[in-house]
């Protein structure tokens, strides 16, 4: 299984490389041989033979650099996503997939136009805070930290509902994007390290893609108590403490 870590050299603001280390480790534990492809900014990406695409967060400056670099391959990326390709983009990386990005100076940047939303960045203050988010098909909520300077208007298919924290829009109750097997979210942490149940769902989907069969309940439990034991324990503590904060 080929996993593409897109622009790891400039979009790794919150240690997102840890997401890919853990994902490949869990897939290997499941008997899935993986190849982690580290895609530098200097090379044009090839999406034709990869099974999963990941990109993490970067500075707003690097975000615009990546937007420019990916513009040459946007049709190939759009084709990959619309044909059900698997992917996860965290932090501000998924913002460039919309139709328009307006920076904090009012300059307009044409997005990759995979989706139809508009991103508006502002400079008065950054929008930061812890978050608890729920999603369909996953009993356990996702937790993490959001640090952004943007609002997103016009997301037709969000990934999460907000229990605690901020959404796509200023007063929004939904967060991120979801299209078939592709997810974008502002959650960092790194996201997969902080959310073993979300990771397990992703791994199960990828295993099904590779083997045409889902993980059994016994295999899931073995992963949670084995290779993901520390992450699961940390998740339970984080969720408990954030829920306490909500009750105050």
* Span 119-175, pLDDT tens digits: 999 887 789 999 999 999 899 999 999 999 999 999 999 999 999 999 999 888 999
pTM of the model: 0.96
Q: Report all structural domains of the chain as residue ranges with CATH numbers, in order of start.
A: 2-247 (3.40.50.880)
Residues near 191 by beta carbon (within 8 Å), at least 6 away in sequence: 16, 19, 88, 90, 142, 144, 185, 198
* Span 192-219, pLDDT tens digits: 999 999 999 999 999 999 999 989 999 9
How far apart CA 68 and CA 208 sit, in angstroms, is 34
């Amino acid at each position: 299984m080929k996993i593409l870590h897109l622009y790891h050299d400039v979009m790794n603001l919150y240690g997102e490389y840890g997401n890919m280390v853990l994902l490949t480790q869990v897939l290997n534990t499941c008997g899935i041989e993986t190849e982690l492809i580290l895609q530098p900014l200097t090379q044009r990406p090839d999406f034709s033979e990869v099974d999963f695409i990941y990109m993490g967060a970067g500075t707003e400056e690097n975000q615009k650099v990546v937007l420019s670099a990916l513009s040459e391959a946007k049709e190939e990326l759009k084709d990959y996503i619309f044909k059900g390709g698997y992917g996860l983009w965290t932090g501000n990386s998924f913002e460039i997939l919309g139709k328009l990005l307006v920076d904090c100076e009012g300059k307009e940047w044409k997005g990759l136009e995979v989706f139809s939303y508009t991103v508006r960045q502002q400079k008065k203050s950054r929008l930061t805070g812890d978050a608890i988010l729920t999603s369909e098909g996953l009993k356990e909520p996702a937790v993490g930290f959001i640090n952004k300077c943007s609002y997103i208007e016009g997301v037709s298919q969000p990934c999460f509902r907000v229990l605690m924290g901020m959404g796509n829009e200023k007063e929004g109750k939904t967060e991120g994007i979801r299209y078939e097997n592709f997810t974008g979210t502002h959650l960092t942490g790194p996201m997969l390290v902080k959310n073993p149940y979300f990771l397990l769902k992703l791994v199960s989907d990828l295993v099904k893609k590779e083997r045409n069969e889902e993980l059994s309940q016994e295999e899931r439990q073995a992963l949670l108590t084995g290779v993901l034991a520390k992450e699961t324990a940390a998740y339970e503590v984080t969720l408990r403490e954030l829920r306490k904060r909500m009750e105050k």
